């Protein structure tokens, strides 16, 4: 990763994105672009004042990072709505990764939950890292998720291209559906039928996941298979906690029957609720949805 773009809202929460971006920049020899978007839905004089203040803060920060951390930084302070400003800058600067801090609930809804926000994020062509956790060191366990769709396969390939997979542990999670578990309250005395059914479904899911990973060119170093128990988002977050992952990778786009990891459903839910970092990877060819 040669170029990281860091979106900062200048709050205390933004420090998590900054700390993670500096850590990654030093680890991979990347340069940083520090970005603050000034909201254009306010009087012009106030926009000018906020732009001057934000540029002053970011320029001092860039100077400090250059002196103390030996990280090369540039500064951009566009005036736009948050989502449109970030979309425009990612299109212009083509960073390898956009890093953002944890969102306040109302901002999360505005950026990720509304129709406009979904269109904006889907237009982004670069992966997005949401730094929810405290950056205490390099990632130790990245848990990739897959719904075995073409979008998911592309996300795995893009993830490998980032170079983030050179870490202590990399796993591939698939939450598989075993519908009879929900349709049939009891499988009989001793639950032998249930265990037999679940074992068969796990074997089938494991074979399908292995074939999918091979077709996607992803190394199957550590497969995690979990039956769907509550919801895809809940079960993914539970798996991340059980497996002590510190980074979850999700695909942000799907169509028709592959919408299990679409932004606005599972991915949005994970982004909004995760206490650890989330890497959201969009399609390489961004799509502007109506």
Mean pLDDT by 10 residues, the chain (290 residues): 92 89 94 93 90 95 95 94 84 93 55 41 78 90 89 88 79 89 58 84 93 81 89 94 94 51 66 89 58
Residue extents of the structural domains in the chain: 3-130, 141-281
pLDDT of residue 166: 67
The CA R_g of the chain, rounded to the nearest whole Å, is 21
Torsion of the alpha carbons at 143, 213, 208 and 191, rounded to the nearest 10: -20
Backbone angles phi, psi at 60, to 5 degrees: -65, -40
pLDDT of residue 192: 77
Bridging pattern class, strands 223-227 and 169-176: parallel
How distant, in Å, are the alpha carbons of 5, 145, 226, 264 from that of 59? Answer: 15, 38, 47, 35
pLDDT of residue 75: 97
What the block records as the tokens of 258 is 């592959």
How distant, in Å, are the alpha carbons of 209, 241, 259 from that of 206? Answer: 5, 21, 21
pLDDT of residue 224: 94
- The yes or no reply on domain 3-130 and CATH 2.40.40.20 is no
Domain 141-281: which CATH number of 3.40.50.620, 1.20.1300.10, 3.10.20.740, 3.50.40.10: 3.40.50.620
What the block records as the tokens of 64 is 């400090």
pLDDT of residue 111: 43
- 3-state secondary structure (DSSP) of residue 18: helix
86-113 per-position pLDDT tens digit = 888 998 999 999 998 886 554 443 444 4
- Residue 126 burial by CB count (10 A; 0-12/13-18/19+): exposed, middle or buried? buried
Q: Do domains 3-130 and 141-281 have the same CATH topology?
A: yes
How distant, in Å, are the alpha carbons of 86, 93, 112, 155, 268 from that of 250? Answer: 20, 23, 14, 8, 10
pLDDT of residue 289: 40
């Amino acid at each position: 990763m040669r170029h990281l773009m860091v979106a900062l809202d200048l709050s205390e929460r933004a420090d998590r994105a900054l700390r993670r971006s500096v850590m990654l920049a030093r680890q991979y020899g990347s340069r940083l672009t520090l970005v603050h978007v000034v909201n254009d839905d306010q009087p012009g004089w106030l926009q000018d004042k906020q732009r001057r203040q934000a540029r002053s803060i970011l320029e001092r920060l860039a100077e400090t990072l250059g002196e103390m951390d030996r990280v090369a930084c540039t500064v951009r302070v566009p005036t736009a709505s948050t989502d449109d400003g970030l979309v425009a800058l990612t299109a212009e600067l083509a960073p390898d990764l956009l890093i953002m801090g944890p969102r306040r609930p109302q901002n999360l809804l505005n950026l990720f939950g509304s129709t406009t926000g979904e269109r904006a994020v889907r237009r982004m062509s670069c992966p997005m890292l949401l730094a929810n956790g405290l950056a205490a060191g390099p990632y130790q366990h990245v848990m990739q998720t897959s719904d075995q769709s073409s979008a998911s396969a592309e996300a795995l390939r893009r993830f490998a291209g980032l170079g983030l997979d050179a870490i202590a542990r990399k796993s591939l999670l698939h939450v598989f559906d075993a519908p009879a578990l929900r349709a049939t309250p009891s499988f009989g005395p001793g639950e032998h039928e249930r265990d037999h059914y679940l074992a068969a479904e796990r074997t089938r899911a494991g074979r399908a996941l292995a074939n999918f990973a091979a077709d996607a060119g992803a190394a199957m170093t550590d497969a995690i298979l979990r039956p769907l128990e509550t919801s895809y988002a809940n079960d993914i977050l539970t798996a991340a906690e059980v497996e002590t992952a510190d980074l979850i990778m999700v695909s942000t786009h799907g169509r028709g029957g592959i919408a299990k990891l679409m932004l606005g459903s599972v991915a949005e839910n994970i982004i909004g609720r995760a206490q650890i970092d989330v890497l959201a990877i969009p399609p390489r060819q961004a799509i502007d949805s109506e």
